[in-house]
Chains A and B, each alone.
Chain A
Amino acid sequence: MISLGHFLTVGAVLFGLGLVGFLTRRNFITMFLCAEMMLQGVVLNLVAFSRYHGNLSGQVLGLFIITVAACEAGLALALFLTLYRRGRSLDSGAWQSIREIGVQPTIDVEPLMKTVPSPDYPRLPVAGRLPVAAEETARV
C-alpha cells in the first residue's frame, strides 16, 4: 500500500524543483513551465488528500487549479509576446528598470561561448561516388 506520505513527498519535490527552476532560469517560457510544475505538485498533494479523506473536495480544488493555470497561461502568453515585441528577447534579466534609483544595472560579465559556425565551403563530391545528400540538422 502506498501511503499518503509518499505522494506528499513527490508533490513537495516537484514543488521544490519548480521553485529552483523559477528562481534560476531566465527564459520566460522555462520560468512559466517551472511555475506550472509547482502547481502540479500542489494538485498532486490535493488529490492525495482527497483519496486519503475519501471525499472529492481535493479533486474539485485540483480542477479549479487547472482552471486558474489555464487563465495564467493565457495571460502569461500575452505578456510574453508584448515583452518580446518590445525587447526582442525572452530574457527576464533584460527587464530591470524597476530597480532603485542609483543602483547599477546587473550586467552579465562572463562572455557567452560563441559557437563560430564553420564557413560553408562548397565541397566537391569525390569523383566516381554517389554524393550523400546533406541532412538538415533540425533543432527541436
Chain B
Amino acid sequence: MPDPAQIPSQAIAYQLIGAGLLAAVGFLFLLPRPRHRQLLVGTFLGVSALGLLVAFLVTRFGSATADWVSTILFWFFAAGAVGFGTVLVVQRNPARGAIAFAFVVLSTCGLFLILAAPFLMATTIIVYAGAIIVTFLFVLMLSHVSGPADENDRSREPLLGGLAGFGFAGLVLFALHQSLPPASANTTVATPGLPLAPLTVVERSALLDAATHLAEAESANREQLLSTEFSQSTRERLESVVGGMTAPRGTVSLQQRLTLAQAEPRTATEIQQAAALKKQIQTTFDTVETALIDANPPDEARAKQALRELREQVVILAGTGGLPARNVSTLGLAIYSEHLLGVEMAGMLLLVATIGAVAIAHRRGDAT
C-alpha cells in the first residue's frame, strides 16, 4: 500500500477526471434515446469509470484488511447502491426504475447498518420502499403508456447533463481528498496503553449496569438513597470506567494524544464526555447528600432529579460507545431533548404538506 503522504494530488485529479469523463461518455450511450443507444459500449465505459473510482478509493483511503466482514459488506452494499442507481438513471421503463430505486434504498440501508444506525435503516426502508415507491408505482399504473413515449425514450442534454453531474461529483471527491486527513493515521499510530476504541465492551456493560442501578433509585426511599451500599457502589462502578478513561494508561506523550485526537475525533469526544461525567458524578452525589441530609425537610425529589440527569449522561456515554446497542433509545433521547424544536418543525411541515397535497390534487369540477 503506498504511503498516502506520497500520493500526489495530480494523480488523484487524473483519476477523478478520467472517471468523470468515462462516466459522462458512458451515460451518453446508456441514457435512453430514440436510436443509436449502445448499451454494451456504455456499460463498458461505466464499468471502467467505476474501476477508476475504486482505484481512487483504494489509493486514497486504503483498503482495510483487518476487518474482513465489514469490508466485504461495505463493498457489496456500495456496489449495489451505485449499480442500481445507474440502472435507475438509464432505465427506460419508470416502473423498473422504481424497483431499481428500491434496491438502491436497500443497499444504502445496508451501509447504514455498517454505520451503526439501525433505526434509520428501518425507517428508511419503511418510508421509501414501503410508502413512496408503492405510491409512485400506483401513479405509474394510473398514467401507464404503452410503446415509446417522449418522456421515457428521450433525454434532455445527455452529454451536458452527464458532464455537469459527474463533474460535480468529481469535484466533491477532490475536495474530500484535500480535506480529509491521511487514512492510515488510525492504523499506524497504535499506542500501547491507550484504548483504540475508547470504550471496551466490558466498560460499556459496566456503565450500563451503573445506569440500571441509578434507575433503581427512582423507586428508592431516603434511607436507601443514603445507604453506603448504593452511593458507594454506584460511584465506584462509574469511576472505575470513567476514571480509567480520563487517566492515560501508561505513558503517552502529549504529541501522541494530539495525533490520536485528530485522527479519531470519536475518541476525543468520548474522553471529553468521560471527563465531564466524572465531574458530574462528584457534584451529583454532593447534591444528593445536601438534599437529603442538610435540607430540612429532606428534598427527595431534587436528589432523584440529579440522579436522573446523571443516568442520562451515563446512558449516552454507554450508547455512543456502542451505537447499535441502545440506538433507538439514545436517538429518542437526543431527538426529544436536543432537537425538540426541529422535531416540532418537521411535524408542522408534514401537516402543511398533507394539507397542501390534498388541496393540489383535489379535482375542482371538471378540470380536465
Taking Cβ atoms with an 8 Å cutoff, the residues of A that contact B are 1-10, 12-30, 32-34, 36-37, 40, 43-44, 47-48, 50-57, 59-60, 62-64, 66-75, 77-82, 84-86, 89-94, 108, 110-115, 139-140
- B89 sits at the interface (CB 8 A): yes
Let me know if A68 and B108 touch, CB within 8 A: no
What is the interface of chain A mostly: helix, strand, loop, or mixed? helix
Q: Which residues of B contact A29 (CB under 8 A)?
A: 94, 97-98, 136, 139-140
- With contacts A2-B74, A20-B166, A56-B331 taken as known, whether A33 is within 8 angstroms of B98 at the C-beta atoms is yes
Count B-side interface residues using an 8 Å CB cutoff: 114
- B70 sits at the interface (CB 8 A): yes
Let me know if B127 and A69 touch, CB within 8 A: yes
Let me know if A50 and B115 touch, CB within 8 A: yes
Q: Contacts A23-B164, A43-B108, A60-B331 given; 4 further ones with Cβ under 8 A? A: A1-B67, A30-B97, A59-B334, A63-B120
Query: Which residues in window 92-148 of B have CB below 8 A to A?
Result: 93-99, 101, 104-105, 108, 111-112, 114-117, 119-120, 123-124, 127-128, 131-132, 135-136, 139-140, 142-143, 146-148
Binds A, one of B286-294, B303-311, B342-350: B342-350
Taking Cβ atoms with an 8 Å cutoff, the residues of B that contact A are 27, 31-35, 53, 56-57, 60-62, 64, 66-67, 70-71, 74, 78, 81-82, 85-86, 88-89, 91, 93-99, 101, 104-105, 108, 111-112, 114-117, 119-120, 123-124, 127-128, 131-132, 135-136, 139-140, 142-143, 146-158, 160-162, 164-166, 168-170, 172-173, 176, 180, 183, 186-187, 265-266, 269-270, 320-321, 323, 330-331, 334-335, 338-339, 342, 346, 349-350, 352-354, 356-358, 360-361, 363, 367-368
Contact with A77, one of B124, B136, B150, B164 (Cβ below 8 angstroms): B136
Q: Which residues of A contact B176 (CB under 8 A)?
A: 5, 8-9, 12
Let me know if B149 and A54 touch, CB within 8 A: no
Q: Which residues of A contact B32 (CB under 8 A)?
A: 25
Contact with B346, one of A25, A67, A82 (Cβ below 8 angstroms): A67
Let me know if A9 and B57 touch, CB within 8 A: yes
Q: Which residues of B contact A92 (CB under 8 A)?
A: 151, 156
- With contacts A6-B57, A14-B85, A71-B350 taken as known, whether A1 is within 8 angstroms of B64 at the C-beta atoms is yes
Q: Which residues of B contact A56 (CB under 8 A)?
A: 320, 330-331, 334
Q: Which residues of B contact A54 (CB under 8 A)?
A: 265-266, 269-270, 320-321
| A29-B98 Cα distance, complex, nearest whole Å | 8
- With contacts A12-B173, A20-B162, A34-B88 taken as known, whether A40 is within 8 angstroms of B105 at the C-beta atoms is yes
Let me know if A112 and B61 touch, CB within 8 A: no
Contact with B111, one of A7, A34, A64 (Cβ below 8 angstroms): A7
